Amino acid sequence: MSPRWVRLPHVVLAVRGAVLALAAAGLAHTLWHGVHEPGHALAFGLLITIGELARWGAQPGEREPAPLGAAGALAYALLGSSAGDPTSHGVLQVIAVLVAAQLVASVPHVARGSGPGPDQVARRVLTVTFAAVCFQPLYNSGRSADWFGDGPYYAAFLLVLLGLTALCDAVLGALLLRARTLPRSLRAAGLTPVPYGPLLRDELRALGGIGSAVCATGAVMALGVAVAGLWALPVLCVPLLLTQVSFRRFAAVRTTYRQTIASLARSTEIAGYTPHGHARRVAVLCTAVGREMGLSGPDLTVLEYAALMHDIGQLSLVDPVPDGATASLPAAEQRRIALLGGAVVRQTGVDTEVAVVVEQQADPYREQPLSARIVRAVNAYDDLCGEGIGGPLGALEQLRLGTGRDYQPQVVESLARVLARGGLTPVPPG
């Protein structure tokens, strides 16, 4: 079996099983041996609980809806001394405090019918456990003091640990996201060829946003408590809270922006120029093909927006194209509609890159950027499926016949792989 094909359901079960085992071991050890430094455990547990409760108001798809809870858990995992006095809570107590805080914070979320899913909780527990395993044994054995002391080398040591922890979190997050995006047919078979690389790149890029703020705050909290004691916690929480508010506002603006683009895209359907759901189907397929070809982050966003608005130039036509199928029009007419669409997009205030893709979607593929090549091929596929020329397989065959001039072969084959994962079943119009 190829190494690309991973039995992800087994991996997810293993991840959740490992978290349950860690939680049971941490809680049992803490109950049996008692709580070391109960004041610190209570303070950090309360901080994590408050941070998890702050998930309320999070925007859909937000990368880190509870940054304060994540930073508090990370700070407790990296906590050495407190006000100059050494601590001795260890790895298992870190896990116990985190799990207890997660359970307490989940009560109002469950009552409200929301809150983190099991994969999010598993990711948090495993990431914090990784940090604690890397730090606590070294500190409690005295090796970190012997090797790094209390000066700049100790701070550099924490920075290295933060980098490794962030990498661990990204790897785990991409793995769990890959599992959540499995098609049902392949989920039943337990196999998937979904590319892992683009998902990992997305997770690594996200570290430059709220992820870096969480890591930095966790380290600063641990260092602040080491010098000033627990009184440092409320002071050091303020910058992250302000950052969280800023990110929430930014996420709300992005959500409104995308809703506006989706509404503009539907205008061709409402006016009767294109079939119902055409723009949405093309956008979904374009995004999947873009991931297949290695696009991620902002490039995928531009591709999605361009796919949603690719037919908006038809609003300038006096007579609608039959069924909105521009793929069957002469090349000159396709280019004219694409240029009209680009002009409309520029007037809406949408990113110029989106307008460029819309304008170039009908050009010869060798003159197009990759996003325009994807939009052209996927739009043609959906148009051909609507013409009833033999279903998805017939539409793909028509695209393959046009790879010499109209469609890039790599894009068509990537589309074929994406469709194969979905069973080659097109979304029915309307």
Q: How far apart are CA 248 and CA 373, in angstroms?
A: 34
Enumerate long-range contacts of 352-361, CB under 8 Å, 24 or more apart: 353/302, 354/302, 354/305, 354/306, 354/309, 357/302, 357/303, 357/306, 357/310, 358/306, 358/309, 358/310, 358/312, 358/313, 361/306, 361/310
Question: So what's the pLDDT on residue 323?
Answer: 67
Instruction: End-to-end CA distance of the chain: give it in Å, rounded.
Output: 40
* pTM assigned to the model: 0.71
C-alpha neighbours within 13 Å on the C-beta side of residue 423:
11
Q: Which residues pair with 82 in a beta bridge?
A: 85
Tell me the C-alpha distance between 364 and 341, whole Å: 17
Question: CA–CA distance from 161 to each of 135, 152, 164, 305 (Å)?
Answer: 8, 14, 5, 38
Residue whose tokens read 């508010």: 245
For residue 392, the model assigns a pLDDT of 78
Count of CA atoms in the C-beta half-sphere (13 A) of 372:
22
For the chain, which ranges sit under pLDDT 50?
A: 1-8, 183-193, 423-430
What was the pLDDT predicted at 4? 43
Distances (CA, A) of 74 to 30, 35, 48, 78, 157: 19, 19, 10, 6, 15
- Helices of type H across 149-277: 152-180, 184-189, 197-206, 212-228, 232-270
Among candidate residues 382, 200, 374, the one with its CA nearest the CA of residue 303: 374
Q: All domains of the chain, ordered by start, with CATH?
A: 8-252 (no CATH), 271-421 (1.10.3210.10)
Task: Check residue 192 and give its pLDDT.
Answer: 43
The closest alpha carbon to 94, from 78, 77, 69, belongs to 77
pLDDT for 163-196, tens place per residue?
Answer: 899 899 888 888 887 776 654 444 443 444 466 7
- Between CA 370 and CA 35 the distance in angstroms is 57
Nearest to 212 by CA among 170, 156, 255, 151: 170
Neighbours of 16 (CB within 10 A): 15
